[in-house]
A = this chain, B = another copy of it.
Amino acid sequence: MADDARKDDEDGLDTRRVAAILDAVEAGNTAALSRLLARMHPADVADLLEQISGEQRRRLLAMWSGEIDGDILSEISDSIREEVIESLPASVVAEAMRDLDTDDMVDILEDLEEPAQEAILSTLDKADRLAVEQALAYPEYSAGRLMQREVVTAPEHWTVGEMIDHMRSVDWLPDQFYHIILVDPRMKPVSYVTLGRLLSARREVGLKDIVEESFRTIKASDAEADVAYLFNQYHLISCPVVDAHGRLVGVITIDDAMNVLDEEHQEDMLRLAGVNDESSVSDGALETARRRLPWLMVNLVTASLSALVISRFEATIEAIVVLAALMPIVASTGGIAGTQSLAVAVRALATRDLTQANARRVVMRELGAGLLNGIGLALVLGLAGTLLFGDVGLGLVLACAMMANQVVAALGGVLVPLTLNRMGLDPALASGTFVTTLTDVMGFFAFLGLATLVLL
């Protein structure tokens, strides 16, 4: 739990604290509210604002707006940020923005409507405004939007002593930095030195002699999902960003990459379940319903496909009505198998464990697993069917349909995301609906088709 991390001078966000804050809002007790909120970390204040209802949020902000700072604004989720900013006096927003690094300013501004964006931009320093406008010129979800432009660089020929003297003499060092980037005269990054090595080397040592072995750069146009992958794969802490000409334009740090990784995961998980990935806990019922209705409507159509298949076999069902009771078993177990295969494939594509190089082997593996589980389930279901209904034919039909559907499920679960991925689409998007439609249709068709052939 969050409160396991002991922090003497700061309070976490527990149920009692939320209740105390809402009481203060209810009672209009501004002093108590300020006291309670002042002791909280900006990330926890932001979470609080997301967790309470829209009405409570409006009242809290009306009482407390003057104390919202840049750190809180940048922690608030996109889903309520616009609403919060609109409710604040323009002077509070301008003041809050001034404390932030440019990457955090960009993060806040990029989701606002044009007029609100303009209004805030016009209150920034000229240098900050220019930096933010340049960042906003990069595509959404690109490394250029994610990077901070404050970078600590040095020419390759400097010594440790010169570097330390330089750092002591400037006053614009970024809040967080972990490396000195060595650049050539045309500002192309060539390698980097960690601060730890800088500190443990003698003053006369050349920076060139203590650079890290491994050095990568990211292009400003790269997708942020790829940035997150790189940080996770190669354990980067920070990474220089270059423009199309290879010149240094900024740096991305691991905390931003971790944030992207977390958002990518949210996207995968919600998309697999057929939910618009911008959903948030602060959405109201209407918004929630609207975000989910599209896939429900699609499912209504695809479920009608199953109904169509079944209706072709009405004569069979009329003759042996127990088939109607048994038919969902094959379809539903197929749906589970398809979902399993699908989740594994979508995850493996995201972590790049599933690539063109091993796609064939993974598909064959799924086929094998589908066959094996198909046999296992077919034996159990076939035997149960035979014993319960005293009908070997029915047992056989159940077993064969189960087996066929398990194979279809396993293959569909991996082939659908692989195909979407090869088409350049998100493998998680719509995969679930495709695969369960496939297993439903196949399940009903195999079971009722076989029953018509064998039992009638």
- Residues of A near any B CB (own CB < 8 A): 1-2, 4-7, 10, 13-15, 18-19, 41, 43-44, 47, 50-53, 164, 167-168, 170, 173-174, 176-178, 194-196, 198-202, 214-219, 222, 226, 229-235, 237, 239, 254-255, 257-259, 261-262, 265-266, 268-270, 272-275, 279-281, 283-286, 288-289, 292-293, 295-297, 299-300, 303-304, 306-308, 310-311, 314, 317-318, 321-322, 324-329, 331-333, 335-337, 339-340, 342-344, 346-348, 351-358, 361-362, 364-373, 376-377, 380-381, 432-433, 436, 440, 444
Q: A269–B280 Cα gap in the complex (Å)?
A: 18
> Are A275 and B344 interface neighbours, CB within 8 A?
yes
Given A231-B258, A307-B326, A365-B285: A196 and B173 interface contact (C-beta under 8 Å): yes
CB distance from A220 to the nearest CB of B (A): 11
Say yes or no: B281 contacts A340, CB within 8 Å: no
- Given contacts A1-B226, A2-B230, 12 further A-B pairs with CB under 8 A are A5-B219, A7-B216, A19-B357, A41-B214, A51-B355, A176-B196, A288-B369, A299-B336, A300-B377, A303-B332, A328-B444, A336-B432
Q: Which 8 A-B pairs have the closest CB atoms?
A: A285-B368, A273-B343, A195-B195, A289-B372, A288-B369, A18-B357, A310-B325, A311-B325
Name A323's closest neighbour in chain B (CB-CB). B324
Q: List 16 A-B contacts (CB under 8 A).
A: A5-B216, A7-B214, A10-B214, A13-B355, A168-B199, A178-B178, A195-B195, A195-B196, A281-B362, A284-B368, A288-B368, A292-B373, A297-B377, A303-B333, A332-B436, A336-B432
Contacts of A196 in B (CB 8 A): 173-174, 176-178, 195
Task: Give which listed residue, B5, B164, B366, contacts A217 with CB less than 8 A.
Answer: B5
Asked if B340 and A226 make an inter-chain contact with CB atoms under 8 angstroms apart, the answer reads no
Residues of B within 8 A of A254 (CB): 237, 254-255, 258
Please give, as numbers and ranges, the residues of chain B lying within 8 Å of A230 by CB-CB distance: 2, 5
Q: How far is the CB of A369 from chain B (nearest CB, A)?
A: 4
In the complex, chain B residues whose CB is within 8 Å of the CB of A265: 261-262, 265, 269
Chain B: which residue is nearest A229 at the CB level?
B2
Given the complex, which residues of B lie within 8 Å of A198, measured CB to CB? Answer: 195, 199
B288 touches A365 (CB 8 A): yes
Considering the chains assembled together, what is the distance between the CA atoms of A235 and B46 in angstroms? 14
